[in-house]
Amino acid sequence: MCKNLILPFILIAFCKFTVYCQPTSGWQEEVNIYKQIYNAPITLINGEQTSIDKLAEKKPVIIALVYTRCTGICSPLLLQLKESLQLNKNNNNYTVLVVSFDSRDLIPDMRQMAHLFNLNNNSHWNFAITDSINRLISSIGFKPVWNNTIKQFDHDALLVGVNSQGYISKKLVGLRNEKELELMIGSINNVYTPTYRLPGQNTLFSCFNYNPITGKNKPGMGLLLIALPAILSILLLVVINKFVHRKEEV
């Protein structure tokens, strides 16, 4: 009887596991948070020589790491970012810095990219290249890998929020909605956000489930698990009691 119950339970549990267990490697938004970003010298597409710290001092910066020959995630990332920021009306105290992490990219390439997205005359957006890309990406914890077969970088879609003091205050991996971008803009403006869920983690036994649409937490399975030991021990007590008295009767 027990076997009949336990086996299906284990099977169902493991099926659920495989659904929920997306690999998390590369989804680590917490890496290098609250660390100083490397103050890389950069050249903007208008020819201006500046640095990340200097830009951030004027206004906190959202850095998007892309390259112009990307046939994958770079364009969707910039497109989504552009659309989401257009929807954001609450806080305009930021600039976006699109930096190429491909050393083959030159100023004309970046200029063309800005033009393609119709962002070349937008005061919120800067496109740039740097000759210190390795130091910059290692201070962020961004690790693109060159794939020689497809002649493309294998990389995350990454946005990095840098506050006016040059600290990385938040990262967003993947294509994310405007609510999460609002959180990022808040964070680079030193507005404290008590909780938000990190992406890619198994949510099966969370105490709370964060709803990014409403911005609210709802009680989750985890809270039940905290009560489970007490429930199990009451059951155990009843079972032991039944068991010892049944043995006596026999």
Partner 1 sequence: MIASRLKKITSLWVVIVLLLFVISIILGILMRLNQGDVIQLSPVTFYTDMTVHGLTMISIWYVAGMAAVNFIMERYVTTSKPANIIALVFTLIGVLMLWASTFIGKFHAGWTFLYPLPFKEMLKAWATPLFLFSIAVLGVGWLIWCVSLIAGMLKKYSLAQVFAWQYFRKGPKTETPPFILISMITLVGIVTCLLAAVILLVLLFAEYFSKGAFVNDALLIKNLTYFFGHTIANEMLYLGLAVIYELFAEISGKPKWKTTWYVALAWNCTLFFILTAFFHHLYMDFVQPEGLQILGQLASYLASLPAAGVTVFSIVVAIYRTKINWTLANLLFFIGVMGWVVGGLGAVIDATISNNFVLHNTLWVPAHFHTYNAMGNVLFSLGFFYWFSFQFSNKMDDNKLSALKLFFLVFGGIGFLAAFYIGGADSIPRRYSNYPDEFPLAKTLAIIGGSFATIYLIGILLFFVNISKRCVKILFSRSS
Q: State which residue, 11 or 228, has the beta carbon closest to partner 1.
A: 228
CB 82 within 8 A of CB 114: no
Nearest to 182 by CA among 37, 81, 52: 81
Instruction: By CB under 8 A, tell whether 141 contacts partner 1.
Output: no
Instruction: By CB under 8 A, tell whether 222 contacts partner 1.
Output: yes
CB 126 within 8 A of CB 55: yes
Query: Do the bridges between strand 95-100 and strand 125-130 make them parallel or antiparallel, or are there none, so unpaired?
Result: parallel
Instruction: By CB under 8 A, tell whether 117 contacts partner 1.
Output: no
Instruction: By CB under 8 A, tell whether 1 contacts partner 1.
Output: no
| Binding piece for partner 1, criterion CB under 8 A, among 45-53, 79-87, 91-99, 193-201 | 193-201
The partner residues of 129 in beta bridges, in order of sequence, read 43
Instruction: By CB under 8 A, tell whether 248 contacts partner 1.
Output: yes
**Number of residues counted as binding partner 1 (CB under 8 A):** 34
| Binding piece for partner 1, criterion CB under 8 A, among 45-53, 110-118, 154-162, 228-236 | 228-236
User: Minimum distance from CB of 245 to partner 1 (Å)?
Assistant: 8
Among 6, 7, 150, 237, binds partner 1 (CB under 8 A): 237
Among 49, 92, 177, 201, binds partner 1 (CB under 8 A): 201
CB 65 within 8 A of CB 77: no
**Number of neighbouring beta carbons within 10 Å of residue 14:** 10
Q: From residue 100, give the alpha-carbon distance in Å to each of 51, 97, 131, 135, 177.
A: 14, 10, 10, 13, 23
Instruction: By CB under 8 A, tell whether 22 contacts partner 1.
Output: yes
Collapsed DSSP state (helix, strand, coil) of residue 37: coil
Instruction: By CB under 8 A, tell whether 233 contacts partner 1.
Output: yes
Concatenate the DSSP letters of all residues of 120-151 into one string. TT-TTEEEEEES-HHHHHHHHT---EEETTTT
Among 15, 193, 205, 216, binds partner 1 (CB under 8 A): 205
User: Minimum distance from CB of 143 to partner 1 (Å)?
Assistant: 16
Report d(CA 245, CA 18) in Å as an integer. 43
CB 226 within 8 A of CB 214: no
User: Minimum distance from CB of 137 to partner 1 (Å)?
Assistant: 22
Among 6, 8, 12, 17, binds partner 1 (CB under 8 A): 17
Residues in contact with partner 1 by the rule CB under 8 A? 17, 20-25, 194-195, 201-202, 204-208, 217, 220, 222, 225-226, 228-230, 232-233, 236-237, 240-241, 243-245, 248
